[in-house]
């Protein structure tokens, strides 16, 4: 048995710079891996993909990104995925799992990794990087040790719905602003996100940001000197606060 770490990715900012003819959006973003990790247990003598703590949002069939990554590298293995990264939280959990398999198999090109999803090329590299194109242009940046507090609601947000809403809003004359061009579209897709962000900013200030397409929010630094994780009742349900740091890989 082999244990693989699959660290989550944090999107510090997200600028959408264009849209290709195939419908994919071009972006410019700074991303870092953080110490919130899924664990993959690999049995090289077997052939299956299972989720140790299954949810309806994580498939265990051939559509699972781990299964697709194994197929991409022409390998078979039994893989048990132990999830810690929230599903639909904008932290790249599925992409991180797939990237862990790619690294285990020796790695693939950024273009090949991109066939699994826009976050997979970065997750395969890890650390800190400038990410451009549709995710395939990954320029490593010097590592910076940064503390961060994640704020994770009990609901997720569909990335595809966010980008579709972004296009609809742009067609209506709306212009994206701020550090994350998907914040307003994500709030349209999931109104609980808007009310929660407003509530958090009233208490912790304007530096509370949305991570990627959400639903995870974050603020740089640790907001409490006590335990690294705790729950708070917000305006739309329980919020999980999780204090962590960036990682070099």
Catalytic residues: 9, 119
Q: For the chain, what is the largest distance between any 2 Cα atoms, rounded to a whole number of angstroms?
A: 56
**3-class DSSP state for residue 226?**
coil
Q: For residue 152, give the nearest of 227, 84, 59 by alpha carbon.
A: 84
> Which of 15, 11, 13, 12 minimizes the C-alpha distance to 175?
15
- Which of 127, 126, 99, 100 shows the shortest CA–CA distance to 113? 99
**Rounded to an integer, what distance in angstroms lies between the CA atom of residue 185 and that of residue 198?**
15
Prior bond of 215 cis (ω within 30°)? yes
Beta bridge partners of 219: 149
The span from the CA of 122 to the CA of 103, in Å, is: 12
Helices (H) and strands (E) in the chain, counts: 7, 11
- Would you list the DSSP string of 90-114? SS-HHHHHHHHHHHHTT---HHHHH
Neighbours of 177 (CB within 10 A): 9
């Amino acid at each position: 048995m082999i244990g693989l770490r699959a660290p989550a990715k944090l999107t510090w900012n997200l600028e959408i710079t264009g849209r290709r003819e195939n419908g994919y959006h071009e972006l410019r973003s700074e991303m870092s891996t953080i110490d919130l990790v899924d664990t993959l247990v690999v049995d090289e003598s077997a052939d299956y993909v299972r989720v140790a703590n299954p949810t309806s949002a994580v498939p265990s069939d051939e559509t699972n990104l781990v299964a697709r990554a194994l197929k991409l590298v022409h390998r078979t293995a039994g893989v048990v995925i132990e999830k810690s990264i929230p599903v639909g939280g904008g932290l790249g959990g599925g992409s991180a799992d797939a990237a862990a398999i790619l690294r285990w198999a020796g790695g693939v090109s950024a273009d090949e990794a991109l066939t699994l999803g826009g976050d997979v090329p970065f997750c395969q590299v890890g650390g800190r990087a400038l990410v451009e194109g549709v995710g395939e242009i990954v320029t490593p940046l010097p590592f910076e040790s940064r503390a961060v507090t994640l704020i994770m609601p009990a609901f997720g947000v569909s990335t595809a719905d966010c980008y579709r809403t972004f296009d609809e809003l742009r067609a209506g004359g709306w212009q994206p602003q701020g550090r994350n061009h998907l914040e307003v579209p994500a709030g349209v897709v999931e109104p609980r996100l808007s009310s929660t962000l407003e509530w958090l900013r009233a208490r912790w200030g304007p530096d509370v940001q949305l991570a990627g397409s959400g639903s995870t929010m974050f603020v740089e630094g640790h907001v409490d000197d006590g335990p690294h994780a705790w729950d708070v009742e917000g305006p739309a349900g329980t919020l999980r606060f999780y204090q962590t740091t960036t990682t070099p890989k």
